[in-house]
Amino acid sequence: MNIKKELKIIYLSAGIFFIILIFLVTFPLLKSIENSYSDEIKTRNDMVNYKNQEKKYTEFVGQYSNINTTFDDLFIDKGAPIEIIEFWEKIASEDGVSIEILANGIPGQSANGWNYMSFTIRLGGSFKNITKVLEKIEKEPYLGEISKIAIQKNFKINQVNQDKSKEDQVIGEVKANLFINVYVK
């Protein structure tokens, strides 16, 4: 009976050992498979996101590939800034505003290293028309910035009629001075 008891103990010990061994090997192996599967899913999601980003990028590039102006067209020629002066004169005449354009010396260089030419533009007319011109200058097809604006209202007094009891009517004209830096090639 001793032998049978010893055999049972050996078999029981071996069974417990194998069960413990299976748990010690199986759980880490299953955990490793789970991690690999998670990594695979993450990689697939990343690939889908990259494909979506690539698609959006190609759509974005497609939208803006039709633009006819090049980067060089945004800059004026520092030797002959005729194009921008003609542009300013054209928009001023369209809105019935008088214009005087003065170049402020030689081209300079801004703090960010870009070369520019400075202009002073004197405008005269109604406030409404001058604001239209300012909006068009802001949206001009050249790269520039308005560094200062000075606006002054001039008054002309006209009598409504000859009767002294009637008040004088005040008609205002606005004058504006713009200091503009336009970037050059």
pLDDT in tens, 35-92: 888 888 999 999 999 999 988 888 887 776 655 555 555 566 666 678 888 888 999 9
Tell me how far CA of residue 28 lies from CA of 20, 62, 80, in angstroms.
13, 50, 77
CB atoms within 10 A of CB 62: 9
Tell me how far CA of residue 155 lies from CA of 89, 126, 169, in angstroms.
25, 12, 10
The rounded distance, in Å, linking the Cα atoms of 112 and 184 is 14
Angle, alpha carbons 155-156-157 (nearest 5°): 115
Residue 174 and residue 144 share a domain: yes
Q: What residues have CB less than 8 Å from 98, skipping those under 6 apart?
A: 92, 123, 124, 125
pLDDT in tens, 102-111: 887 666 666 6
Residue 131 and residue 176 share a domain: yes
Residue 149 and residue 106 share a domain: yes
Rounded to two decimals, the pTM is: 0.51
Q: Could you say which of 14, 38, 67 is where a domain stops?
A: 67
Q: Could you say which of 22, 48, 67 is where a domain stops?
A: 67
Q: Could you say which of 16, 34, 67 is where a domain stops?
A: 67
- What total number of domains does the chain contain? 2
Q: Which domain holds residue 11?
A: 1-67
